[in-house]
Amino acid sequence: MIAHEIGHQVQKILGIEQQVSQLRRSNAQASNPLSVRLESQADCLAGVWEHSTQQRQVIDTSDISAGMDAVAAVGDDRLQKMSRGYVSPESFTHGSSAERAEWFRRGLESAEISSCNTFSLQH
């Protein structure tokens, strides 16, 4: 989860967070989908950071597994199912467990910030 927050810090430094905030304010209907893309990108950037720490032998594969489990545990689908008993994808703000794990994995495997463009039309 710390790595995800580092991802948000990278977004802030790159100006992505501000751009998305402006888009969300100007288009209320796109607010949740934009939030999911921002959170997915933070998950991907977390994977890039995790790759870096693994290369420097700061963490090991068990830490990576724990990170993957943590990302999947906080997917909107899982949290909604646990709290409400049903899932409403249109209300997602962070993405499903599978989406979050996929973006984290993408960053981890690519080790490139450029692979984390969740705002492009092609995923």
Q: Return the closest-CA partner of residue 74 out of 91, 51, 92.
A: 92
Mean pLDDT of the chain: 92
pLDDT of residue 60: 80
CA dist., res. 2 & res. 31, Å (int): 24
Indicate the domain borders of the chain. Answer: 2-116
Structure confidence at residue 56 as a pLDDT band (50, 70, 90)? confident
Q: Return the closest-CA partner of residue 39 out of 82, 115, 80, 96.
A: 96
User: For residue 113, what is the DSSP state?
Assistant: G
CA dist., res. 19 & res. 93, Å (int): 17
3-state SS of 13-74 is HHCHHHHHHHHHHHCHHHHHHHHHHHHHHHHHHHHHHHHHHHHCCCCCHHHHHHHHHHHHHC
- Position 123 pLDDT exceeds 60: no
Note the pLDDT tens digit of each residue in 83-103. Answer: 999 999 999 999 999 999 999
pLDDT of residue 121: 58
The residue with greater pLDDT, 121 or 117, is 117
